[in-house]
Copies of this chain bind each other. A is one copy, B any other.
């Protein structure tokens, strides 16, 4: 049986891309502050960027802010990506960026909401509640999770950089645990592209895991430095989410194509 990351790798090969297109309908970027505008915004990006997208990453917050109608739009957006996948003959995975984390039957309800109700393939989760909060999302190995490890924001160090007895930083321990827990090839890690040192440390601890590495572009991360620190030896293992760098471009299709090619040329340069 195939796992989430085998689907993702197939798509990465099909489109020669490590680009993960973020779908973040910020009110400031919409024609009107409505769910209908958020739908129009998202469908336009999908239509323009699908050939270059290794994955899409809608962020739940920007849909939730419109309440019930926003939630309905989120489902329509995921359905549109599924239709685009069929048209291209290549499954484009949908990663719901939701950073959930809860226990037992509550985690089961979130998994049901994400995978069954919305039809996403993967979700971002917080590791703070431990393994039993992750397990309900791993049962079906065709579905995956990215666990928060070292995030791209200024305050990420408040907890994640704490020194543990024995020498690890907290985020390094999370990387070790994720590797232990990854018995079905459906756990990856969120490691900010703004943190090249952390990317290199986590890559050393988890040579085979996939990273979701936000922070290139709007947050100031440097693409070449991040790729050098985080790519696997096979030149894969790293998804680069870009949101505003594409949605605010004069020509989103061109911006996505250029970013895809820029990443490819860096991969070749490193011989990966």
Q: Are B129 and A148 in contact (CB under 8 A)?
A: yes
Q: Are B155 and A129 in contact (CB under 8 A)?
A: yes
Known: A64-B110, A68-B75. A103 touches B153 (CB 8 A): yes
Number of copies: 2
Partner of A159, one of B64, B72, B100, B174: B174
Q: Are B103 and A101 in contact (CB under 8 A)?
A: no
Quick one: which of A150-182 are within 8 Å of B by CB? 151-160, 162-165, 170, 173-174, 177
Q: Are B151 and A103 in contact (CB under 8 A)?
A: yes
Is A7 among interface residues, defined by CB-CB distance under 8 A?
no
User: How many residues from A make CB contacts under 8 Å with B?
Assistant: 58
Instruction: Return the chain B residue nearest A167 by Cβ.
Output: B165
Q: Are A117 and B65 in contact (CB under 8 A)?
A: yes
Instruction: Return the chain B residue nearest A154 by Cβ.
Output: B132
Partner of A109, one of B64, B110, B117: B64
Instruction: Return the chain B residue nearest A164 by Cβ.
Output: B162
Partner of A129, one of B62, B105, B153: B153
Q: Are B148 and A131 in contact (CB under 8 A)?
A: no
A74 nearest CB across to chain B (Å): 8
Q: Are B128 and A157 in contact (CB under 8 A)?
A: no
Is A233 among interface residues, defined by CB-CB distance under 8 A?
no
A75–B68 alpha-carbon span in the complex (Å): 9
